[in-house]
Amino acid sequence: MGNNNKIGLNSKKAQQLANKLNALLADYQIFYMNVRGLHWNIGGNMFFELHLKFEELYTNLLLKVDEVAERVLTLGNTPIHSFSDYIKTSELKEAKDIQNGEEGVTLIVATLQKLIVKQRELLKLANDAEDEGSSALMSDYIREQEKLIWMYSSFLKKI
């Protein structure tokens, strides 16, 4: 084993990945709560459509929170797990009292764009560490979120 962790990755590179994954975990937790708030507070003529889309998104984000935390554990580290740590670590800001659908969707697109940048950095680190598990996770997230950006951006287009 020497310099490798239990799954055969270089311990130093695995630690670096775990730190970056914890930062992503914090972003996902803040994004989850922001979308949850959008779901609860959205109003207007697009209420029914957006209410359902936001629920679909926050349900997916909750799954990602669990997957990222479990990946940190798989790498041999501890996921952060307090909201004070999420707020301190996340690059995202809390969104409060958004009721306008266009404003909510704009926030979602901007957040997804930030997450994709972070996940591409993680993908490079994972590839460098020969960490197929983290690479596959990031690749899946990026592919899915690129499509979501296209879809939500299409909603925002003016006719």
CATH of the domain at 40: 1.20.1260.10
Place of tokens 């997957």: 67
Whether residue 101 is contained in a domain is answered as: yes
Whether residue 2 is contained in a domain is answered as: no
Q: 54 vs 34, 44, 96, 105, 138, CA distance in Å?
A: 10, 14, 15, 9, 22
Instruction: Please give the mean pLDDT across all residues of the chain.
Output: 96
Angle at CA 118, nearest 5°, toward 40 and 68? 65
| 1 has a pLDDT exceeding 80 | no
Whether residue 127 is contained in a domain is answered as: yes
Mean pLDDT of 136-155: 97
Number of domains in the chain: 1
CA distance 12 to 5: 9
Give me the domain span that covers residue 75.
11-156
Mean pLDDT of 69-78: 98
Single pTM value for the model: 0.96
Whether residue 81 is contained in a domain is answered as: yes
Whether residue 4 is contained in a domain is answered as: no
Whether residue 75 is contained in a domain is answered as: yes
Q: What percent of the chain has pLDDT over 90?
A: 97
Whether residue 5 is contained in a domain is answered as: no
Single-letter residue type at 36: R
Burial class of residue 158 in the structure, from the number of CB atoms within 10 Å of its CB (0-12 exposed, 13-18 middle, 19+ buried): exposed
Mean pLDDT of 85-103: 97
Q: What percent of the chain has pLDDT over 70?
A: 98
Mean pLDDT of 104-111: 98
Whether residue 6 is contained in a domain is answered as: no
